[in-house]
Every structure is written in structure tokens, then in C-alpha cells.
Amino acid sequence: RRMTPRAREAPPRYASIGAALRAEIEEGRAPVGSCLPGEHELCGRFGASRFTVRRALAGEAVSFEIRAV
């Protein structure tokens, strides 16, 4: 399967989800110390698999000290 130039430019889905969650935290919509929605809810919200959501959370955990409860 050949990738088009546009397909190569798109960031991975987990990166887009991570960026959206990061924006929520930075904008105060998800205050520091509060709980983010659960994986199941995030999967529905972003239309992504649990694996993709977990990967996004793992990437943001480094930046924002997100941890599983």
C-alpha cells in the first residue's frame, strides 16, 4: 500500500489525543489534581481503541505526571 504525501503528514492518533488532553489541562478544563475521564469514556470521546488511548495517556504521563488510579 502506497502512502500519499498527506498521509505521511498526519500525526499518529495517540499524539492527537495526547495533545487534546494536554490542551484541556493547560486551559484549566481538567484542573491539576483532578481525575481525567476513564479509558472507556476517552475511547468513546475520541473514537479510538483502548490501546491508542493508553498510549496517549502514557505519553502525557511523562509531561504532566498523569498516573492511573
Quote the cell numbers at residue 29: 478544563
Do 56 and 17 touch, CB atoms closer than 8 A? Answer: yes
Task: Look at residues 23, 50, 27, 22 and name the one whose alpha carbon lies nearest to residue 38.
Answer: 50
pLDDT digit string, tens, across residues 13-65: 999 999 999 888 888 888 877 888 899 999 999 999 999 999 998 887 766 66
Residue 35: the pLDDT is 84
Average pLDDT over residues 2-12: 70
Q: What is the pLDDT of residue 9?
A: 78
